[in-house]
Amino acid sequence: MPHSLFDRIFTVLATLAVVAGATAGFWVLGTPGQQRLIMSDRQRLEDLNAIANTLYWKKQDQDDYVLPDALDPNDRREDPITQELYQYSKIDDSQYQLCADFATDSSTQRLTNTENRSWQHPEGPHCFDLDVSQAPPSLY
């Protein structure tokens, strides 16, 4: 086999390997735009979890703590994209909801923690029902 033919075959195989690797990467991880949406949803979940933890620890520190009708301004957080406040609703003395508008459906994401389904959400508006007397579920 002449040396130049070997070089051509090697170049074609190397190019195919790179293209296959890039295609597999996009298939597993998604496009950069999809990853940005996933990261914004992850930030939303972290914000909701922080609000839930704040309410939980206030309950732990005060025996007579009652859920507020509206969040204290210091406890509020904004959506990282829309800059709108997350929605909080008091259901009763211990039950409440935290709501956000998600860009992705968490059940379709690869490489996520499949054990913890507490914070799974569909694409679009979604509310989580929480109890102030119980520690919020872990995100990870």
The answer to whether residue 7 scores a pLDDT higher than 90 is: no
Encoding tokens for residue 96?
Answer: 């409440």
Q: Which of 33, 49, 40, 47 is nearest to 78 (CA)?
A: 47
With vertex at residue 105, the alpha carbon angle to CA 85 and CA 130, rounded to the nearest 5 degrees, is 50
Instruction: Please tell me the distance from the alpha carbon of residue 90 to that of residue 14, in angstroms, as a whole number.
Output: 59
Q: Does the model's pTM come out above 0.85?
A: no
pLDDT at residue 112, rounded to an integer:
53
Per the listing, tokens 């839930």 go with 52
Instruction: Please tell me the distance from the alpha carbon of residue 119 to that of residue 45, in angstroms, as a whole number.
Output: 7
Mind listing the pLDDT tens digit for each residue in 30-72? 688 888 999 999 999 999 999 999 999 998 888 788 899 999 9
Encoding tokens for residue 14?
Answer: 């190397």
Instruction: Please tell me the distance from the alpha carbon of residue 40 to that of residue 23, in angstroms, as a whole number.
Output: 24
Instruction: Please tell me the distance from the alpha carbon of residue 48 to that of residue 64, in angstroms, as a whole number.
Output: 24
Instruction: Please tell me the distance from the alpha carbon of residue 134 to that of residue 139, in angstroms, as a whole number.
Output: 15
**Bigger pLDDT: 11 or 130?**
130
